[in-house]
Structure 1
Amino acid sequence: MRNYKKKYQAITIFTVLIFLSFSILPVTQDQQLIVGEWISIDDSNWKLKFNNQGKCYDYYEGTLETTYYYTVTEKTASNGVVFSYLKLVNINDSSDVYNYEINALNRNNLALNYLGDLNEKLMLFEKQ
């Protein structure tokens, strides 16, 4: 009976590991590139800091204003063009959500376009 339980546990663990290996989402290049500290080009007092645990810290004049959970997603249009999006969700208020299109992202520059009804211009950041 003991041998049966050990085999059952081993099969269960193996099955769970196989399932998890297929369900883990691949990390996109944008998810890797966004990690770091970004200073606004228009207002050097504003800084966004993204970590690799999915949190974004919003600082103004060196003071932490808000902490967000962030996700970076990609969508492919029917013509094959890939669009990247950033979603920020306030960790203290899940109804406080901001969605952006990532217009540019490389090792030095980040350009975000807010996807809301605000009449905002493109937000430009440089990596610190």
Structure 2
Amino acid sequence: MSDDPLDQAFLALADPVRRAIIARLSTGSATVNELAEPFAITKQAVSRHIAVLEAAGLVTRSRDAQRRPVHLDPAALERLTAWIDRYRLQGEAAYRRLDVVLAASITEEKES
């Protein structure tokens, strides 16, 4: 696995179970048992998925007495969103320039 945090995050999110865990954690912290409920996989497998998400910096764990809740790191998701938005905005700017060219072409065609 790459050492680049962005690569690690996207690799972690490539798995549908891990994306579902992130979606669940977006509603609040949860234990491994709570996160494992909707899946037909073992709690150990869910723990491994959580470890991948934790290594990618997307989630953290804390200790609350005997509970070890898993928490989503919103700042990590914001970094991913910022990276995506940079390229989305560049793409939108290119389409706006294309719209101007097409509009000018249509106007020119109508005048001919």
Query: Given the two structures, how large is their TM-score scaled by the length of structure 2?
Result: 0.22
Greater percentage in helix: 2
Query: Given the two structures, how large is their TM-score scaled by the length of structure 1?
Result: 0.20
Rg comparison, structure with higher value: 2
Greater percentage in strand: 1
